[in-house]
Amino acid sequence: MADATQAEHKWTMVVDLDKCTGCQACVVACHAENNVPIRNKSEVQANRAQHWIRIERYWVGDPPAKARFLPMLCQHCNRAPCEPVCPVYASVHSQREHLNLQVYNRCVGTRYCNNNCPYVVRYFNFYDPYFPAPLTEQLNPDVTVRTAGIMEKCTFCIQRINRAEQQARTEGRDLGPDEVIPACVQTCPPSALLFGDLLNPESRVSKVLADNQRALRVLEHLGTEPAIYYLKGGKSYVRF
């Protein structure tokens, strides 16, 4: 179901853990771009906050422990555990884009997909979104606004991918190597997030991942084959 033979694009993200400063710019940009609701305090206290991308903070080492940041978002696994379990085919895989899709109008709210996801990156709308007027003016019309009962997750800004592909098709050309940029990648100040088509050798992610000793994937041993590569932190050449 998820073989690459017929795919046109293999969208891949590279996260440079050495550069991520945990500033949450990607989190806010994702909310703005994808109409992700902010949950109020009591909903958050009920463990129902929704942030499609989150910066996980781990404490490392003996006290005083230092923090390390790990941006975590839907890994768009090539063997996604969330796909086989959806009874209504709301969580499906795109063979052309190599993405894990969430079809909102199909979702009935089983929440089995979130249960199966080892990265816990799926978010269920337990409540209706609260956008008091005129905050509704800010909603992005290119993205559906989800109500209660629908599962959602990072889509790699599929609306931007589609828009770029439409533009390219209308102009009769191929997509440029770095033409598609999701919201989080676009705003990240230290450029810790990179995005591109791994099938295109000219794209930045292809060049960064070629022969990269630092590249690894999270929970790789589970066999989910995620589409996001993390470059683990480096050591300075300065000797101290």
Partner 1 sequence: MAWGREREEPQRHIMRISSRLRFLVSGAAILGLLWVGSSPRARTLLAVPTPSPGQPPTIAGVSPNPGFPPTVPFVPTRPPVPPQPVPFPHVAMVSRGVPCLFCHSGATTSPAAGIPSVYQCMGCHLVIARDSPLIRQVQAYWEAQQPIPWVRIYRLPGFVQFSHRPHLAAGLNCEACHGDVGQMEVTVPYPAYKQMGWCLECHEHQPNPLPLTECQICHY
Partner 2 sequence: MGRRIGRRDLLKIGAASAVAAALGGCEFPRPWVQLEPYVRPPEEQVAGVGTWYASTCRQCPAGCGIIVRVLNGRAVKIEGNPQHPLNEGKLCPRGQAGLQDLYNPDRLQGPVRQAVRGSRQYQAISWEQAITDLRTGLAQAGSSLVVWADCTISGHLLDLFERLTAALGAPPPLVFDLYTALSGYAALSSADALLFGRAALPAYGVEEADVVLSFGAGFLSTWLSTTHYGVAFGSFRQRPLGQRGYLVQFEPRSGPEAAKADLWVRLHPGTEALVAQALARLIADAGEGPPDRVARARAWAPAVDPAAISAMSGVPLEDLRRLASTFVTAGRPLAIPGAALTGHGDAVAQAAAVQVLNVIAGAAGLGISSGPPAEGLLTAVVAPYGRVQRLVERMRAGQVGALLVWGAANPAYALPPALGFVDALKQVPLVVSFRPIVDETAVWADLVLPDRTYLEAWGYDVVEPSFGMPLVDSQQPVVQPLYNTRATGEVLLEVARGIPVAAAALPWPDELAFLRERIAALPAGVFNGAGEEVRWARFLQHGFWQLAPGPAALEAPQARLQPVMVPAPSFQGAAGEFPFFLYIYMPVLLSDGRGADKPWLVGSPDPMTTLMWQTCAEIETNTAIKLGVTYGDIVRITSPYGEVEVPVYVLNSVRPDTIAIAAGLGHSALGRFAGEEAEGPNPMALVGAGADASGASMAWANIRVRVARTGRRVALAKFEDTRGSYGGFVNQAFADQYL
| Interacting residues with partner 1 (CB under 8 A) | 92, 94-97, 99, 101, 103-105, 142-145, 155, 158-159, 162, 166, 169-170
Question: Please, what is the minimum distance in Å from the beta carbon of residue 166 to partner 2?
Answer: 11
Rounded to the nearest 10°, the torsion over CA 126, 55, 42, 110 is: 20
Block residue for tokens 């533009």:
167
Question: Please, what is the minimum distance in Å from the beta carbon of residue 99 to partner 1?
Answer: 7
| Residue 25 touching partner 2 (CB under 8 A) | yes
Question: Please, what is the minimum distance in Å from the beta carbon of residue 52 to partner 2?
Answer: 12
Per-residue contact string for residues 66-105; x = within reach of partner 2 by CB under 8 A: xxxxx-x---------------------------------
Q: Which is nearer to partner 2, 61 or 172 (CB)?
A: 61
Rounded to the nearest 10°, the torsion over CA 12, 95, 181, 142 is: -150
- Rounded Cα distance between 20 and 190, Å, is 7
Q: Which is nearer to partner 1, 30 or 101 (CB)?
A: 101
HSE (CB half, 13 Å, CA atoms) of 175? 24
Cβ atoms of 193 and 228 closer than 8 Å: no
**Which of the listed partners (partner 2, partner 1, none) does 166 bind, with a CB threshold of 5 to 8 Å by partner kind?**
partner 1
| Residue 116 touching partner 2 (CB under 8 A) | no
Cβ atoms of 202 and 212 closer than 8 Å: no
Q: Which is nearer to partner 1, 82 or 101 (CB)?
A: 101
Largest CA distance in the chain: 59
Q: Is 102 helix (H, G, I), strand (E, B) or coil?
A: strand
Residue from 11, 12, 13, 54 touching partner 2 (CB under 8 A): that is 54
Q: Which is nearer to partner 2, 6 or 47 (CB)?
A: 47
- Rounded Cα distance between 80 and 189, Å, is 30
- Rounded Cα distance between 64 and 232, Å, is 22
Per-residue contact string for residues 130-169; x = within reach of partner 2 by CB under 8 A: --xxxxxxxxxxxxxx-xxx--------------------
Q: Which is nearer to partner 1, 12 or 20 (CB)?
A: 12
